[in-house]
A and B are shown apart, each in its own frame.
Chain A
Amino acid sequence: ELKVEQNPLFLSMQEGKNYTIYCNYSTTSDRLYWYRQDPGKSLESLFVLLSNGAVKQEGRLMASLDTKARLSTLHITAAVHDLSATYFCAVTTLQGAQKLVFGQGTRLTINP
């Protein structure tokens, strides 16, 4: 059974600082997704990582994937308050089936 674990689960940080969220998964998978969720809202797709060594950047967020280590990271650079949200990683169980298994989520709070 595929398991996805994120850490930390809660993160409070100051504006302007850098930090990294980690996502580990238990079995082989070649697709990893990062989503953002604001309170009471839907999930917004941030990144789709499709191969080992993939790195994608959007603004202050950068995601990477190491399929050999079964690890993805979401790095936040010079955090701003608008990035406060819950971040989820998700992994597929079977290529093409698109049945995502989600991590528990990391609740990020950025303080002015």
Chain B
Amino acid sequence: NAGVMQNPRHLVRRRGQEARLRCSPMKGHSHVYWYRQLPEEGLKFMVYLQKENIIDESGMPKERFSAEFPKEGPSILRIQQVVRGDSAAYFCASSPRQGANTGELFFGEGSRLTVL
């Protein structure tokens, strides 16, 4: 039973380029969360999605960042016009349908973005 799968694991971009990070939740999980971790810091919530719906994007920067979770395929976190401050580890987590469990999130290995 595969866990949460993220790719790429490492991504290097130059300032101004676009970064696309992908996340496939655990089998049977329909909720996806994206978190960002800056060096030496804890994880900060970015966005919570269900299939074809953004439930809570209160942690997303207002510009350049977007997320989707289409009916088919992985969830995508997209960062346009990247800047050096976007360099971080981006973690995806998934959970089963709301109310069906303890609320525990299962995390992927993370995608580490470096902006040159």
List chain A positions with a Cβ less than 8 A from chain B: 31, 33, 35, 40-43, 45, 48, 50, 88, 90, 92, 96-105
> Beyond A45-B105, A48-B102, A98-B31: 20 further Cβ-contacts under 8 Å?
A31-B103, A33-B104, A41-B110, A42-B108, A42-B109, A42-B110, A43-B43, A50-B102, A88-B42, A88-B43, A92-B103, A96-B103, A98-B33, A98-B48, A98-B98, A100-B33, A100-B43, A100-B105, A102-B35, A102-B44
Q: Is the CB of A41 within 8 A of B109?
A: yes
**Contact status of A101 and B91, CB under 8 A, knowing A41-B109, A45-B104, A96-B98:** no
**Contact status of A98 and B105, CB under 8 A, knowing A42-B91, A43-B91:** yes
Docked pose: A92 CA to B103 CA in angstroms: 8
Size band of the B side of the interface? 20 to 34
**Contact status of A99 and B48, CB under 8 A, knowing A104-B41, A105-B42:** yes
Docked pose: A37 CA to B60 CA in angstroms: 23
Please give me the residue from chain A that is nearest to B58 by CB atom.
A99
- A residues in contact with B44, CB < 8 Å: 102
Does any Cβ of A come within 8 Å of B106's Cβ? yes
Can you identify 27 A-B contacts, CB atoms within 8 angstroms? A31-B102, A31-B103, A33-B103, A42-B91, A42-B107, A42-B108, A43-B91, A43-B107, A45-B104, A48-B102, A48-B103, A48-B104, A50-B102, A90-B43, A92-B103, A96-B99, A96-B103, A97-B48, A97-B98, A98-B31, A98-B48, A98-B95, A99-B48, A100-B33, A102-B35, A102-B44, A104-B41
